[in-house]
Amino acid sequence: MLWLDCPRCGRRPLEEFTFGGEVRDVPDSITDPDARDFDEVWVFENPVGATTERWFHGHGCRRWMTIRRDSSVDQVIEVLG
Amino acid sequence: MRRGIAAGYVASLPELRWAEPKGSYDVVIIGGGGHGLSTAYYLATRHGITDVAVLEADYIASGNTGRNTTIIRANYGLPEAIRFYQHSLEMYRDLEDEVGAAILHQTKGIFWIAHTEMALRTERARAAMNTAAGANTVMVTPAELKELVPQIDLTGGHRYPVLGASHNVEAATARHDRVAWAYAAGAAKRGVHVVQHTPVTGLVRDGDRVVGVQTAKGQISAGLVMSAVGGRVTALAAQAGLRLPIRTHPLHAFVTNDYQQGFPAIVASTELNCYVSQTERGQMLIGAEFDAQPSYSRQSSFAALRSYSHKITRILPFLRDLRVLRTWAGICDISVDFSPIMGFTGVDGFVITTGWGTWGFKAIPAGGEAMAELIATGRTPDLIQAFSLDRFERDHAMADQGSAGTR
């Protein structure tokens, strides 16, 4: 991945962006409140394949964006905005 | 001279017999990298446990063991980590005698350069902590550094001035694939099955207990399964019902063509986030921090290449005259606190050694020795007590600023 399509600025080099982490929810299957807290703080889904994540266009419009990316090949699937 | 070394090089490779898997073992180790193979070796040599299989999806050391920059150092930031890596560094020093094969170990010393007052303070703290915990790290002035590494530009290209450096005197390098081969051969000689090209596709469970593995060549039952997987550990651990505090990032490295004059030390800079050493073949080997976004892609990127070259040529201008020969990437399991995770998992029949991020190669002997002891005795050795998976629940995360490739 060398470029990202910013919804406001258009196609820009990846160096202009900062990775902001995966967007995730604690799975419903975890019900214990302490276990949910633990999961939220420490765990990553870290999937091989499609992942949803936040990026910050620090050297551009200085706004956040959400994309879906295939982590197995490091390529953007779609820009959600 | 070079030819002489090369001849000894090949002659000293011990014979290694590959095995086909049988249906059942006392211990099945997933992952034929350094940690998996050294654990098998120490299980066989120290504890007499030889009904062991090491299952490798590709060929041995094809993952991060064969892709790292082979730096062995002990200048970490936490006492528990310093003691662990210092023990590993000392084991490496004696490894040729232990395994009876040349691993091309060379003690070089690593300089960790500071470009700002703040970084200099960090290096002083590192040296003090190292000294207190038993690693040999001293501070050197720019003038001393220039004497020891004459190629260095102390002005840092008028951009990154060198204010001083910490020097982990005993730091070394060794040939990575030879380390893996030596452990594999030593283990195989004692009856361990080293099985290549056999991907593990799943864990077999009986209730909560892990009782074996599913492979492309059929099911294998096991008294105990150890994951020494690099890269895809999150997916594997999920099959045992575990959720890990790990993200997997690519890390790029490259080598240049032969540098004839010789470069005796290892040079690193936390602020520039890169490190450089010379391989036994004379190539300059350069690595840096991992990519910000997690990914399982081993594709080298031009952006990384450009950024590392830009940074490293500031402090070592002679590198400009060399050409990039080869680039590659490995995928590193980075734990949230930049420390490894070793030991019991809370799941019966399943132990883990993971989170080896950008610091796994140097820990191969000590990590394998400790995991073998853990498997053989059922108790966590003191040396790795601090690295257990439950440290996050206990609120004892081991945030280590001394790990390379991390900010």
Domain-by-domain residue ranges, chain A? 3-79
**Chain A contacts in chain B segment 215-274 (CB below 8 A):** 232, 234-235, 243-248, 250
Asked whether residue B318 is assigned to any structural domain, the reply reads: yes
Q: How many Å lie between the alpha carbon of A4 and the closest alpha carbon of chain B?
A: 13
Residue B77's nearest CA partner among B403, B406, B404 is B403
- Six-digit token pair at B225? 């399964």
- Residue of A19, A32, A44 to mutate, testing the B interface (most B Cβ within 10 Å of its Cβ): A44
Closest CA to B272 of B125, B148, B152, B107: B152
- Inside any domain, residue B216: no
Query: What residues 27-66 of chain A have any CB closer than 8 A to a CB of chain B?
Result: 38-39, 42-48, 51, 53
**Residue B299 touches partner A, C-beta closer than 8 Å:** yes
What span, in angstroms and rounded, lies between the C-alpha atoms of B305 and A18?
18
CA of B406 to nearest chain A CA: how many angstroms apart?
15
Record: contact A15-B245, CB cut-off 8 A: no
User: Count of domains in chain B?
Assistant: 1
Looking at residue B1, its pLDDT comes to 37
Backbone angles phi, psi at A11, to 5 degrees: -75, 120
pLDDT score, position B11: 59
- For A72, the closest of B247, B296, B336 (CB atoms) is B296
DSSP string, B157-191: HHHS---EEEEETT-EE--HHHHHHHHHHHHHHTT
> Do residue A72 and residue B232 have CB atoms under 8 angstroms apart?
no
Q: Is B252 among the domain residues?
A: yes
Cα(B108)–Cα(B266) distance, rounded to whole angstroms? 7
**Token pair recorded at residue B159:** 């951009």
First and final C-alpha spacing in chain B = 41
Smallest CA–CA distance, residue B241 to chain A, in Å, is 12
| Type of residue numbered B162 | V
Pairing verdict, β B218-227 and B350-354: parallel
Between CA B161 and CA A59 the distance in angstroms is: 26
Which CATH number does the domain housing residue B302 bear? 3.30.9.10
Whether the Cβ atoms of residue B227 and residue B233 lie closer than 8 Å to each other:
yes
Q: Tell me if B246 and A46 make a contact (CB, 8 A cut-off).
A: yes
Best interface-test mutation with A: which of B201, B242, B243 has the largest number of A CBs within 10 A?
B243
Residues 97-136 on B with a CB inside 8 Å of A are none
Distance, CA of B395 to CA of B208 (rounded, Å): 25
pLDDT of residue B204: 97
Best CATH choice for the domain A3-79 from the list 3.30.2270.10, 3.30.1280.10, 3.30.565.10, 3.40.50.720: 3.30.2270.10
Segment A31-37 shows an average pLDDT of 94
pLDDT at B19: 94
CB-hemisphere CA count at 13 Å for A7?
12
CB contact under 8 Å between A51 and B294, yes or no, is yes
Residue B110 covered by a domain: yes
Query: How distant, in Å, are the alpha carbons of B31, B182, B257 from that of B195?
Result: 10, 15, 35
| Beta-carbon count within 10 A of B116 CB | 12
Strand partners, B104: none
Beta-carbon separation of B295 and A19 below 8 A:
no
How buried is A28 (Cβ within 10 angstroms: 0-12 exposed, 13-18 middle, 19+ buried)?
A: exposed
In a domain, B77, yes or no: no
Residue of chain B whose alpha carbon sits nearest to that of A70: B295
What pLDDT tens digit does each residue of chain B (407 aa) get?
A: 344 455 455 657 889 999 999 999 999 999 999 999 999 999 999 999 999 999 999 999 999 999 999 999 999 999 999 999 999 999 999 999 999 999 999 999 999 999 999 999 999 999 999 999 999 999 999 999 999 999 999 999 999 999 999 999 999 999 999 999 999 999 999 999 999 999 999 999 999 999 999 999 999 999 999 999 999 999 999 999 999 999 999 999 999 999 999 999 999 998 888 899 999 889 999 998 888 999 999 988 888 888 899 999 999 999 999 999 999 999 999 999 999 999 999 999 999 999 998 899 999 999 999 999 999 999 999 999 999 999 999 999 998 877 754 44
- List the single residue in A2, A47, A51 with the smallest CB-CB distance to B303: A2
Rounded to 5 degrees, φ, ψ at B97 are -70, -40
pLDDT of residue B14: 87
Distance in angstroms (rounded) separating the CA atoms of residues B393 and B374: 21
pTM, to two decimals: 0.94
Other beta carbons within 10 angstroms of residue B353's beta carbon come to 31
Residue B351: predicted pLDDT: 98
Chain B segment 341-370 residues within 8 A of A by beta carbon are none
Query: Which of A15, A46, A71 lies nearest to residue B303, judging by beta carbons?
Result: A15
| Distance of residue A70 Cα from the nearest chain B Cα, in angstroms | 8
Report if residue B281 sits inside a domain. yes
